[in-house]
Amino acid sequence: MQPRTRVKLTTLDNREAILDGWAENLSVSARLKRVAKVVVWFWAIAAFTVLLPILHFILPPALLLCGACAGLAVWRQARIVRDARGPCPSCGEPLSFPLLVRRERMKDTCPSCRHSFRISFDQSANA
């Protein structure tokens, strides 16, 4: 069972709202599966683009490189929060984030009022 966690949204004028979500620390095997999924997609598309005239000089190497970079980015996602829900700190409209990846300095914008807010994770759920 995944532990519940809290995600705090803070606007520039320091209004705050708390979202509830499910914290998940990904195991090495789960991270490898996520990396493999991303890399295989990029490299499969790269293999397909070999068949395209002229573009096959640019697209396959670019997609191979992008696949490696995307795989590295996914590998760094060791801690995630799924299904975070709560109100917007500015307008109170319900917000929903299906997947949040824990990083420094996360920002987003409310789709209703267009105010931006900073996203920070509950420190107790970082273990």
Q: Where do contacts with Zn ion occur on this chain (CB under 5 A)?
A: 88, 90-91, 93, 110, 112-113
Distance CA 113, CA 87 (A): 12
Confirm if 31 and 76 have CB atoms less than 8 A apart.
Answer: no
Which one, of 18, 23, 20, lies nearest residue 1 by Cα? 23
| Token duo for residue 48 | 């397909």
Antiparallel, parallel or unpaired: β 16-25 and 4-11: antiparallel
Nearer to Zn ion, 60 or 86 (CB): 86
Nearer to Zn ion, 77 or 120 (CB): 120
Nearer to Zn ion, 16 or 44 (CB): 16
Nearer to Zn ion, 63 or 95 (CB): 95
Which residues does residue 108 pair with via DSSP β-bridges, in sequence order? 117
